[in-house]
Amino acid sequence: MATPFNETEISVIESIYAKQKSNYFTIGKTKARERIQKLKKLQNVIFTFRKELQEAMWKDYRKPAAEVDLTEIYPVIQEIKFASKHLKRWMKPKRVAKPITMIGSSSWIHHEPKGMSLIIAPWNYPMQLLFAPLVSAIAAGNTVILKPSEFTSHTVDVLKNIVSEAFEEQEIAVVEGGVEVSTALLNMKFNHIFFTGAPEIGKIVMAAASKHLASVTLELGGKSPTIIDETANIKAIVPRIAWAKFVNAGQICIAPDYAIVHESKKEEFIRSMGQQITKHYGDDAANSSDYLRIISPKHFLRLKGYLENTIEQGGKIAHGGTLLEVENYIEPTLVENVPMDSDVMKYEIFGPILPIITYKNRQEVIDLINSKEKPLALYVYSRSKKNIKYFIENTSAGGTCINMSAVHVGNPNLPFGGINNSGIGKSRGHYGFLEFTNERSVLHQKLPSAVEFMAPPYTQLKQRLID
């Protein structure tokens, strides 16, 4: 459990910071082989804590063991394996061409670590979103202070044990705590800050980073639309939407936030979604050991408020709608007749409520999406190549799946991230490595340079050459 923030805690943070500061050049000089060994060690330690991770996440918000394996441990192991396989190549100096005027020199990009990095993570995937960027930071040769979310205290205890078993704190350390601890860390001078969380907090992080001109990666959120057009094969696509929306009880940054369904498909879509939800979680999801709870009373009340506001304004529950406050339970819920100015269409939902909006023509879809901030993800379900092209070309988003939702984050060959309000910078695989790397330009002059011939005095001959 996060301890209250006090002077002792500040001195602990300062001591870790000082140790990392005196060590980061040493860490930065490590070879690919050594970094791969560190990643392998992290992998082995994670496996030894598998049971503890499963138990802790169940206690925190009833995350099923299978989902701990699939959505927390597996993505981190995949990152480790991918980075280990490619690291030698990523680190290799990259020769580049030169203009004719630079004859006698050679140029290359030297990959050096940014240095001291800070990773701040949210609670919804408490391990994946802390350790996936950690893998990139280790691969790039950085020291790291990790600040997990204060809302998953059981999991944080295990993560702390994993990190202290795998690393010395002068290289990598976990600092526990909430906003005060985060603020204290943000006042310190880091070379890079990797933040995952809400856009409003992202702005605070960016403002703090600007004081030291630290570079930032901001993995934020927003309202990710899911378009279902008149050609979509509802039976085939509904399992993919229902899974992505209700896994983790909708507490995913890339969950379909709202569905925009062609009016001819609305009835079939709602009916199939209802059936699919029952298939996943039974007649009463409250009794399903595969369905999570909302992380905290605060978030439960936020979602309850959104739902009440939407119903007051004319929205209608099309499926679900049961809430149990004692256990922060919200049933997988579909809402139709949703007014545009209701809370579920104004704010990122981040919970198991899916508003369903209908449209008649494609322009309405574009107008709705582009009236909001650029989303982290946008999903298009269609069998029409023309429609798919149209929807993609007329919108902007961090990432897109066609006839699928959310899984693009699982392909380490793709950059993952948002755009503007949904994020700045990209993560995962090589893109993650680059976020924690300074691509340093090096030019080595081997023969006399053209500059020497062209230096003052500018004689008539030199002037003619310039002309």
379, 383, 389, 401, 405 from 386: Cα distances, Å: 15, 9, 5, 16, 20
**Burial of 283: CB neighbours in 10 Å, binned 0-12, 13-18, 19+:** exposed
DSSP per position, 255-274: S--EEEEEGGGHHHHHHHHH
The answer to whether residue 219 is catalytic is: yes
- Least distance CB 251 / ligand NAD (angstroms): 8
Residue 306 interacts with ligand NAD (CB under 6 A)? no
Residue 350 interacts with ligand NAD (CB under 6 A)? yes
Between 237 and 401, name the residue whose CB sits nearer to ligand NAD. 401
Amino acid at 202: G
Catalytic residue among 9, 79, 169, 219: 219
Say which DSSP state 410 is in: G
Residue 349 interacts with ligand NAD (CB under 6 A)? no
Residue 149 interacts with ligand NAD (CB under 6 A)? yes
Query: Which two three-digit tokens encode residue 10?
Result: 């500040």
The answer to whether residue 112 is catalytic is: no
Residue 197 interacts with ligand NAD (CB under 6 A)? yes
Distance CA 239, CA 245 (A): 10
Between 251 and 382, name the residue whose CB sits nearer to ligand NAD. 251
Distance CA 140, CA 435 (A): 9
Between 10 and 179, name the residue whose CB sits nearer to ligand NAD. 179
Residue 377 interacts with ligand NAD (CB under 6 A)? no
Residue 141 interacts with ligand NAD (CB under 6 A)? no
Between 75 and 141, name the residue whose CB sits nearer to ligand NAD. 75
Enclosing H/E stretch for 356: strand 353-359
Q: Helix, strand, coil shares of the chain as percentages rounded to 5?
A: 50, 20, 30
Residue 191 interacts with ligand NAD (CB under 6 A)? no
- Least distance CB 430 / ligand NAD (angstroms): 17
Catalytic residue among 9, 79, 176, 253: 253
Residue 122 interacts with ligand NAD (CB under 6 A)? yes
Residue 111 main-chain phi, psi, to 5 deg: -90, 100
Whether 134 and 172 have beta carbons less than 8 Å apart is answered as yes
Whether 59 and 153 have beta carbons less than 8 Å apart is answered as no
Q: Interface residues for ligand NAD in 211-270 (CB under 6 A)? A: 219-221, 253
Choices 51-59, 190-198, 326-334, 382-390; region in contact with ligand NAD by CB under 6 A: 190-198
Whether 245 and 255 have beta carbons less than 8 Å apart is answered as yes
DSSP per position, 200-228: HHHHHHHHHHHHHT-EEEEE-----EEEE
Choices 177-185, 225-233, 280-288, 440-448; region in contact with ligand NAD by CB under 6 A: 177-185
Residues near ligand NAD (CB under 6 A), total: 28
Residue 201 interacts with ligand NAD (CB under 6 A)? yes
Residues that bind ligand NAD (CB under 6 A): 120-124, 129, 147, 149-150, 178-179, 182-183, 186, 196-198, 201, 204, 219-221, 253, 348, 350, 376, 418, 423
Q: Which residues are catalytic?
A: 219, 253
